Structure 1
Amino acid sequence: MLDEDGYFGESVAAGYDESSADMFASDVVEPAVDLLTELAGSGRALELGVGTGRIALPLSQRGVEVHGIDLSRAMVQRLRAKPGGEAIGVTIGDFATTEVDGTFSVAYLVFNTIMNLTTQDAQVDCFRNAAGHLEPGGRFVVEVGVPDLRRLPPGQNAVPFHVGEGRLGFDLYDVATQSMSSHHVRVADGRGSYLAVPFRYVWPAELDLMARLAGMRLRDRWDGWSREPFTSESRRHISVWEKPSD
């Protein structure tokens, strides 16, 4: 049974930064913060799924006022314990529907977090919620992987993403429903642990339609935060939708 923090309760939050250490590397974080700082300008930034502050903290340190929404109190406690954590305003709640005061020049979702919403309706709600918080001309930014279905031969529904000593990770896909689950097996000191987290994968064109339903339009799509071209071989995309200014 899940606790009030969903799938990101104390047991996950306690080791989240260490298990995702490669995503905290400066060469990963800095390009994202550079782009978000530019988009924020003199305005405020809203992070949907702020977590332990991987992006929010360095963005705040650039002088951008950041507010976050997150369902997990355990993750937010880690954010609060870090230097500068108290400067980040946080609202506890489902980022698909939770509203906060004021408007923002940029709202953003990073590191596949849009897929934590496991139904299409919830993802549509998220776009509407983001648009509702943006000032005219504001931007909504999403970083998410391109569904990796080309690696699925007929009859197979599993794709490994990490195979190494002491750790095994694989994704299970259901192409009929666009549901998937990420499975993590770890062995340390002779003891094993297992965690499964559900997701819903989503296509770039599907996200564009969600944005249109929310009154936004696609402005840019790149392969990475340094604005590399998005191609048919891209494994992820950084997409930017704009709320009309009129």
Structure 2
Amino acid sequence: MATRLVQINMKAHDDAALGRFWAEALGWGLDSEGPGVTNLEPVGFSYPDPTAVCIDLIARPEPKTVKNRVHLDLATTSTAHQEELIARLKDLGATLADVGQGDDVPWTVMADPEGNEFCVLEPRPIYRDTGPIAAVVVDCADPREMARFWGEATDWTVHEVTDDQATLRSAQGVGPYLEFVRTADTKTVWNRVHLDVRPYRGDDIAAEEARLRALGAGDPGVDQSAIHWTILTDPEGNEFCLLAPA
């Protein structure tokens, strides 16, 4: 048994407006399964599929107070494409952001209209076939431990592990990467952006939850009686959702 990363969950004050921004930014389609929920996925996509990690935007009133611990890196194919993408994102409402990256990095840090940080990367061969999202990036204290947990929690393949960074990708070798990057910051609030994972069709959801807990998943300590999915935490306290098999 195993799960796989199928989407990221992003809180938003205005899910529809933020959804329109990200749909335009990525060239994806958008839909809604109900009030306060906007769903983004590639046009013609058959969910779930490892070629893309989708985005669910959920309306929440809480303000953003700290830098997100989970963000997106966007891929580009050339220096000209990087410059064009940055200009287009600015026209859509994105702004330049300073997260302490300095002036000599080849990527550009930006923030979407609600302040969620993301990076527009310079062209890198490793991301040539990922689609518009090069990687989902998670800040952490111990990339080795995060690679151990997420490599066993999912069927994604661990590609690189160092003291500073760990990299995983789907078992099929397609879609974006999942990266854990060592940072000095510590988690202080509920993550506004988190990972959602699903077991495969036919798997036992209760058995999968038990397996994840045995690997080191924890309990976020919130009332879950009104929801039909399970919220867990990884070994560094990052919330993630275990969805129904599909």
TM-score, normalised on structure 1?
0.32
Comparing both structures, which one devotes a greater share of its residues to helix? 1
TM-score by length of 2: 0.32
